[in-house]
Amino acid sequence: MSHPGSVDIIDFLAFTIYPFIALGIIELISRGIKLSSWKKLSIQGVAMIILSIIYVVSPALIVTREGNAHVEPLWMSIVVMLALAVTLFFQAKRSKLDPTKAEY
């Protein structure tokens, strides 16, 4: 059971899975259209930033809860996604400067 202001375990798992789904979809599309590595990594970084903003601004819209309940943002998930975005941008820069260094 969750307490007011938190999300249920199912919703928490969904919040955790959404970024991986976004990364996977971007990976599949970029392989399908043969997008360069640095562009793919940059798009993935932007996707993580967008998801972080969505997780701050509107978590109550995503949670499957009845009624008008206040849901606190999942700050740890947001920080992890922002750290992943920074890492993706670093790898994109590295891949753009020397494509032989990045095997992504």
> Which of residues 89 and 5 earns the better pLDDT score?
89
pLDDT in tens, 5-26: 566 677 778 888 989 999 999 9
Per-residue DSSP letter, 98? -
Please report, to the nearest 10 degrees, the dihedral formed by the alpha carbons of residues 11, 43, 23, 13 taken in order. -10
Give the pLDDT band of residue 46 (cuts 50, 70, 90): very high
Nearest to 79 by CA among 48, 47, 46: 48
Give the pLDDT band of residue 1 (cuts 50, 70, 90): very low
